[in-house]
Chains A and B, each alone.
Chain A
Amino acid sequence: MDLAGIADYLVAFAIMGGIYGVFTLGLNVHWGFTGLFNIGIAGFFALGAYTSALLTTSPPDPALFEDFKFGGNWASIGFLDWGLDVWFVLGLASAALCCGVIALVIGYITLRLRDDYLAISTLGIAETVRFFFLNEKWLANGSKGLYRIPKFLGDWIAPENYGYLYVVVVFAVLAIIYLALQRAVNSPWGRVLRAIREDEVTAQASGKDVFRFKLQAFILGAMIMGIGGALYAHHVRFLSPLTFDPMLATFIIWAMLMVGGSANNKGAVLGALVVWGIWVATQSLPGILSDPSFRLFMVGVLIVAVILLRPGGILGEERRVTRLADSDAARPNNPGG
């Protein structure tokens, strides 16, 4: 492989790593900061991806398809056509909105109840979303899948170099989400989330509306996952319900968060890149190491091992409550105190 080939390979790796980073950040809002157990990431992944793809792709040629009719065709709407591809932002926003609404409904029903009802419900949502896109052929062409999903700023750069542009887009989105989340979780709002995760009753006794905060966190995380799904759709430009199997759309994201470090946004992104790196690097190894079943097994073992041996993951949670208080402040010989 020559230098350019290696660079292409790295870019392709970085795009998926960055997209997984978005998902891990979303899951971190759920699990890391609030303790919400979402095992249906695949549902929000698919919903986000399909929302953006369906709204922006042009409708199929009626001569070629019998049942499949839908296509929002936002990518060609005139007043948005400034060569800037504003539709991409709208697509991402719609994906986030759609996931947010579903999260609102599910969260509203289950978050008042015991913790694990949410897990069961998210599992149900993931399966239902998959069945929906598989069966409603008029909408998304069923198992044959959706293709010709538009490229963001596709006219700006030659197709063979498009990856170099999209990797910048992905990491820009990742950075915006990361910075916004850092602000959110270090704010009083974020501290309430962590208080709820540690001890719900105490948080309630301190006058916090636990249900409300949990619902907000659930919706926020789901919206981030929706954005991740949309980024994925415009990257691979082909979607089929079979893409969203639990392995690559739920389990691996859990492994990423657990390995990188729950409740640490840096850890979440690091975990995404590390686990994706291992995944890609071992793909070309001989024998059992590259066998998908063995990887599935290892992802399960990894999750259990992290919980048992190193609950904090690589980075672990920063224990400092706020950056305004010096971490030395608690020491007795602190000159200021």
Chain B
Amino acid sequence: MGRLVTTIQDTARRIGLAWTPAHTSVAIVVIALAVGFLPFVKMGLVVNGVFLGAIIALGAVGLTLVYGILNFANIAHGDYMTMGAYTTLFIVGYLLPKVGVEGSGLGPFTFGYPLLIALPVAVAAISAGAVVVDMMVYRRLRDRGVNTVVVSMASLGVAIALRGLVQIIWGGDIERYPRETRQVFHLPMDVRVPPDAIFITTVAIILVVALYLVLDRTKMGKAMRATADNPDLALVSGIDTGSVVRWTWVMGAALAATAGILLAVYQAHLLPIMGWKFLIPLFAAVVLGGIGNPYGALVGAFVIGVTSEVSTQWINPSYKPAVAFAIMIGMLLVRPRGIFGGGRS
């Protein structure tokens, strides 16, 4: 037991979480409570919460990276998700069919292999778009040295413009990727797992591992963490903050776009407002994990995902975003720096 605790602490410290013995005891209490509660909770909801958490995680990790390194709350992050989802729709619904690439119902999944082609293309497009928006808007504001709230304000403008753009091109109605209905897997304890959810979780795990490798093993990752920690010190240490900013946008937007596409697959529809509505769970996860802490955001995402799903057992499901919001407010009251205390308040 003692060894286990030390291993947990070492691992946590390695990936940059300020894990203390207090965290271990709190974690044990929380896990014990959760296990004690389990018999009263519908397992299906918990599993759904994990899937939702995986999507929130991708969005929140990107959001917290931008937040930590560029030091502003990017209100447009949800709309980067929307853009990712709709760009994919454009590719699988319009571009690929033109060259005769069509299909749905790949293996157990509802979508076809064109989606697997479209996903990386759309993600690259959104990343490039984010870098362009940064050059057009945010860099000018940074150079002018304005208050970070003004930068946030500008990102609100970007968010509105992006949503307008999506509506101009695709209209405001519900859209879908080409899909075929598929059987859900029935597991014991009334757990239903749609095959798509397995795909979503797999993609999320791959991306989080990739992110860990980039942040932990590459020079750029180290430079990013250094910039998040102390921008001025990073600059005088000879770190090219310009390229750090560019890579932050590339990674943040790529994660957001992927989250958007996975969300569109998971909920089986696209709406121009989908990303904006996702902002509250995203920010809740970021605040829970401590601003600028990607691993914290990961933990926060699953907490938010599972809690808001499980809450539907007792309260009206349409209050789900309000539950995420309530958890965030509670966290701000108790520990404004996040679970691991590493974030800035």
Contact = CB atoms under 8 A, between A and B. Distances in A.
B161 A246 contact: no
Contacts of B267: none
Chain A binding surface SS class: helix
A301 B291 CA distance: 28
A120 B147 CA distance: 17
Nearest to A246: B276
Contact of B157 (A125, A303, A311): A303
B165 A116 contact: no
Nearest to A105: B329
A298 interface: yes
B161 A300 contact: yes
Interface string A293-304: 111111111111
Interface residues of A, number: 45
B158 interface: yes
Contact of B153 (A37, A295, A302): A37
B211 interface: no
Choose among B137, B140, B163, B291 the residue with the greatest number of A CB atoms under 10 Å from its CB. B163
A114 B321 contact: no
A298 B163 CA distance: 11
B75 A39 contact: yes
A121 interface: yes
Contacts of A74: none
Given A39-B75, A296-B167, A123 B319 contact: no
A131 B328 contact: no
Contacts of B336: 112-113, 117
Contact of A251 (B148, B160, B167, B287): B160
Interface in B277-334: 277, 279-280, 283, 287, 291, 316, 318-319, 321-322, 325, 328-329, 332-333
B164 A116 contact: no
Interface in B119-165: 137, 140-141, 147-150, 152-154, 156-165
A81 interface: no
Given A39-B75, A109-B329, A128 B322 contact: yes
Nearest to B321: A127
Contact of B279 (A37, A112, A123): A123
B285 to A, nearest CB: 11
A119 B276 CA distance: 14
Nearest to A129: B322
Contact of A303 (B154, B167, B168, B322): B154
A293 B164 contact: yes
B325 A127 contact: yes
Given A35-B149, A131-B319, A131-B321, A308 B344 contact: no
B308 to A, nearest CB: 13
A110 interface: yes
Contact of A37 (B152, B158, B276, B344): B152
B97 interface: no
A307 B137 CA distance: 9
A313 to B, nearest CB: 13
B69 to A, nearest CB: 15
B72 interface: yes
Contacts of A154: none
A139 interface: no
Interface in B159-187: 159-165, 167-168, 171-172
Contact of B148 (A109, A116, A120): A116
B230 interface: no
B149 A116 contact: yes
A124 B328 contact: yes
Given A110-B332, A301-B161, 7 more contacts: A116-B149, A121-B325, A123-B279, A124-B321, A135-B318, A304-B161, A307-B157
Interface of A: 31, 35, 37, 39, 109-110, 112-117, 119-121, 123-125, 127-128, 131-132, 134-135, 246, 251, 254, 288, 291-304, 307-308, 311
**Closest 10 CB pairs between A and B?**
A297-B164, A300-B161, A300-B160, A303-B157, A293-B167, A296-B164, A124-B325, A116-B73, A304-B157, A120-B283
